[in-house]
Amino acid sequence: MENSVRPAIFWITVFDSSGKLLRTETAFFISADGRFITTAHAIEDGVNAVAKMADGEIHNVDGILASSATLDLAILQADVKRVPFLTLNKTANPEPGTHVGVVGSALAGSAEAARETTISTQQPDEAEIAATVSPDSIGSPIVDANGEVVGIVISGGDKATARPSKSVGSLLDRIASDAKPRWAETVQTVSTPTPAPRPTPKPRLVYAPAPAFPRDAHVRPGVAWSGRFSLSFDSRGNVTKVQIVQSTGNEALDRAAISTLRQWKSAPGGDWAATVPVTFQTR
């Protein structure tokens, strides 16, 4: 079941208006055309985001379709053609003692391997999970034996909590058929009736190849290396600088990441910067 569920699960990395990394959290697709679920607090204050898949592919996130601070859930749209997705069981109401699975992103390696657990308590809009859940699993799906989503993890710890899938269904019902994804706009107060400035286009990646595993890297199989790299873009969308924020711990992997990240392109606009997570994993 894990192999059929995990391809739809990924990391969403959220940035503010200056391109600064705000946070990275787990998310998962619920439709082939790129709709996905994560927590509402994951996207708080964000104006841009990218979705990083386990195979290294990176997709732009077009914006938010619906969000509820009360439920701590958000539905967003990724810029993709076709992706694997999970089916929501909107009628499920798992009773205490029901066996379920919590499945995290493969990017987290063995630390977030799928784990079996049970529902310990159930309320109309909230459930508690018996197993301890790490913070990295927040935003992960909770699935039944058929691989259908019956809940979404919204908090970790010894008493991790989740929203049932029917809560997602109520959020989906709010989305109009012609709804366009967008990021929350910042309201500005103008004290004088001066002409409004032309808005600067939001940063958007147009070419973002995943770093390839270098042949000269001498590493053990079955191990993952993760790092973070800061990219500076000019107004033409070219990368002008790549800096290591957090090394992967392997010099050859750092060089490979920097070499590929220098090739990235963004849509023309203003100068901007972003911090990007990179993970190498051997099999």
Q: Which domain holds residue 30?
A: 2-78
Whether the per-residue pLDDT at 2 is higher than 90: the answer is no
Look up the CATH number of the domain holding residue 6.
2.40.10.10
Look up the CATH number of the domain holding residue 276.
3.30.2420.10
- Taking CB atoms within 8 Å and a gap of at least 24, the contacts of 157-162 are 157/132, 157/133, 158/132, 159/120, 159/128, 159/129, 160/128, 160/129, 160/131, 160/132, 160/133, 161/126, 161/127, 161/128, 161/129, 162/126, 162/127, 162/128, 162/129
Residue 25 lies in a domain: yes
Q: In this structure, are 73 and 106 located in the same domain?
A: no
Residue 215 lies in a domain: no
Domain's final residue, options 120, 146, 167:
167
Residue 180 lies in a domain: no
Domain total in the chain: 3
Higher pLDDT, 61 or 97: 61
pTM equals 0.69
Tokens of 174: 């709010």
Give the pLDDT of residue 188.
Answer: 37
Whether the per-residue pLDDT at 196 is higher than 60: the answer is no
The tens digit of pLDDT for each residue in 105-146 reads 887 765 555 678 888 887 878 888 887 888 888 999 999 988
Q: In this structure, are 64 and 131 located in the same domain?
A: no
Domain's final residue, options 120, 145, 167:
167
Q: In this structure, are 74 and 115 located in the same domain?
A: no
Average pLDDT over residues 225-242: 89
In percent, the amount of the chain with pLDDT more than 90 equals 35
Residue 207 lies in a domain: no
Give the pLDDT of residue 114.
Answer: 66
In percent, the amount of the chain with pLDDT more than 70 equals 91
